[in-house]
A and B are shown apart, each in its own frame.
Chain A
């Protein structure tokens, strides 16, 4: 049951992306095209997701612990630091240029196209570089 949970979650997640049109870069970029031909689909995906998860979160967090893990792994930071703003700003640019954010980009790997592979590879390099603004936890 424990290992199945993450698998099932991933499975339903990508199906949700597919049905919701989030694997169509043009549609995703269309959502960001506020001053052009606006495609509101992404907004409806967000509404559907938030409708479910807002309620689910409230109910789940009443528990002492998750079903198949020791503790809830929640983010601890609360401040609006420069990293949050700069990181988000840069992400938004990359997202708009390609129509891909991490979820759709990784799901897209099943198509085996060069675009999918190149993007995922670059994303990995970017993620590695992203550790540099952080304090080093371990030595070299």
Chain B
């Protein structure tokens, strides 16, 4: 993992913001990945969501080809932990109605108080989880 780069972060973020802006202007939809995925799982307005995910995959393949180092190693490889984490992410974002893109980017862009609170909450519990893991010994 390379040292953090302000420029990479900002450029990447601008692209994400642009993608979200394009989806909203073009299709009137929120670029919240948990909602896009959840909508497919619950079979609601599947078509545009699938098209978006195909685009996401295509971009992923392009990244794999031209900047494979972008895909970092997992921090966790134990199957039970991966499954637990996936369950928590899927369940939590569905119940909480959003994730880092839905609440963090799109919601905060609208100055939504719900999204500000949601974002603060998941960052807080995320940080707390690390503190607890370290205290218990070993950590990630």
Residues of A within 8 A of B (CB): 2-3, 5-27, 29-30, 32-36, 39-54, 56-57, 60, 63, 65-75, 77-80, 83-103, 105-111, 113, 115, 118-131, 133
Tell me the smallest distance from the CB of B129 to a CB of chain A, in Å. Answer: 4
CB distance from B65 to the nearest CB of A (A): 10
What DSSP secondary structure best describes chain A's contact surface? helix
Closest A residue to B140 by CB, please name it: A29
Determine the chain B residues whose CB is within 8 A of the CB of A10 once the complex forms. 19, 51-59
**Knowing that A69-B26, A84-B97 are A-B contacts, what are 9 other residue pairs whose CB atoms are under 8 Å apart, sorted by A's residue number?**
A9-B52, A12-B18, A18-B67, A20-B9, A35-B130, A35-B131, A88-B103, A92-B121, A96-B127
Q: Which residue of the partner chain, among A47, A86, A92, A113, contacts B13 with CB atoms under 8 Å?
A: A47
Closest A residue to B115 using CB positions: A75
What is the CA–CA distance of A6 and B39 in the complex, to the nearest angstrom? 15
The total of Cβ contacts below 8 Å across the A-B interface reads 491
A48 touches B92 (CB 8 A): no
9 residue pairs of the A-B complex, CB under 8 angstroms, read: A5-B27, A14-B59, A14-B63, A33-B130, A35-B134, A68-B27, A93-B129, A97-B76, A97-B84
Contact A85 B92 (CB under 8 A): no
| Cβ-defined contact, B15 with A19, below 8 A | yes
- Selected contact of B91 from candidates A17, A43, A77, A129, CB within 8 Å: A129
